[in-house]
Structure 1
Amino acid sequence: MNRKSPVRRRPGLHAVAAGLVLAVGLGVSSQVPAQASVHASAKAPTAVTQSVAAPKSVTGTHGHAVTRVADFYGAYIDAKGDYAGPDVALAKNLRKHYLTADFAKRLAAWEKKNGADGVLRAQNVPARWTVTDNGSMGHSHEVKVTLTFGSGATAQKVKLFVLVERYNRIAAIETTSAH
């Protein structure tokens, strides 16, 4: 190595790293027999403690219709069903951002006639929801939203078909598919 080289060896650093690896290795190897004897004498764990749930994740793609509808429904349901109280202003702003102006007017008329939230097609907030791709239709895309109200034997599911125009704005929410 020449003196002008910016990379220099540090023999002391390698010795410290090797010492840490050795210390950790010895610590683990000395703990294994002790842990094994403790577990051997303990009762077998029940099925409930043995099952470990995998971490949940959500994946999205910028500009994709399914992601857009999932983002809207997730935020909208959170705004409407907030435990501290519904955030009416947020729900209104989400509708303004995600819905076309024409559809927003038609939705308001539907809500007045039916006495329910037009986005959810209900008077209450769902416990769960699923958003699934339902295919493209010309310059638009249809996304299926399944809302689950309640739980257990009394759970009710509502399927909605959301039409997303080519500029990623929601142009319709229907109870039947356009396909």
Structure 2
Amino acid sequence: MNRKSPAHRRPGRRAAVAAGLVLAVGLGVSTQVSAQASVHAPAKSSAAASQSVSGTSGQVVTRVADFYGAYIDAIGDYTDPDATLETVLRKHYLTPDFAKRLAAWEKKNGADGVLRAQNVPRKWTVTDNGAAGNGHEVIVTLTFGSGETAQKIKLFVLVERYNHIVDIGTTSNR
């Protein structure tokens, strides 16, 4: 018989090696779990820790949120605002009639008509406000500044049934 043949091996040694391997793997896993448990993860209650944005294709609230997000991004980059994108967004999301009325409002008030302000907001929220006439109303809340000096503006955005914005105002259309 050859010393390396399976018949010549000691079964006790094989069992000891297997037990040692199991113990080593077991200790490694438990050590790893202990190490992971001792590492402090960021608190999940923090808004910055876990943030998500979702939407639904064809949903009015999502459409208005998409418009305001892209619009604020386009004009909010003070080092390189994108006037071309601003124009394209207005053309895509606003009805032609409302775009004309908005331009007249802006000329009269010296402010951006989409935001109803001269500044760009720090954050915004978009909330469904339900049916209004032949369309749908969405509330856009813009927050300017931060801390104790933060100011909020609530806008009522009216969207027609073909998903184009037909009015933005400071009072509800309902």
TMscore range, shorter length: 0.7 to 0.9
What is the TM-score of this pair, normalised by structure 1?
0.75
RMSD, matched Cα: 2.6
Secondary structure at the aligned position of 1:160 is classed as strand
Gap change, CA 1:23 and 1:148, over 3 Å in 2: farther
Instruction: Determine which of 50, 54, 62 is the counterpart of 1:55.
Output: 50
What is residue 131 of structure 1 aligned with on the other side?
126
> Deviations along 1:101-136, whole A, 9 cap, x unmatched?
000000000000000000000111000100000011
Is 1:94 the equivalent of 2:81?
no
> Secondary structure at 2:117's aligned position in 1?
coil
Q: Which residue of 1 aligns with 2:8?
A: none
Task: Sort the Cα spacing of 1:51 and 1:117 in 2 relative to 1 into closer, same or farther, 3 A.
Answer: same
Q: Within 5 Å, which residues of 2 pair with 1:164-175?
A: 164-175=159-170
Which amino acid counterpart does residue 153 of structure 1 have in structure 2? E
Aligned length: 149
**CA displacement 1:45-103 (0-9 Å, x = unmatched):** 8xxx7634351111111111100000000000000102532111101110000000000
Find the residue that maps to 2:98 and give its secondary structure.
helix
How far did residue 137 of structure 1 move?
2.0
Q: Distance in 1 between matches of 2:56 and 2:76?
A: 26
Rounded to whole Å, the distance in 2 between the matches of 1:31 and 1:116 is 58
Aligned residues: percent identity?
A: 69
User: Normalised by the size of structure 2, how large is the TM-score?
Assistant: 0.77
5+ residue gaps in structure 1?
Answer: 1-21, 40-44
Q: 2-side partners of 1:50 and 1:150: how far apart? A: 27
Aligned twin of 2:7: none
Give 1:23 deviation, angstroms.
9.8
1:1-40 matches, cutoff 5 A = 25-26=25-26, 27-32=28-33, 35=35
Partner of 1:85: 80
Partners of 2:29 and 2:136 in 1: CA distance: 55
C-alpha separation between the residues in 2 aligned to 1:72 and 1:149? 18
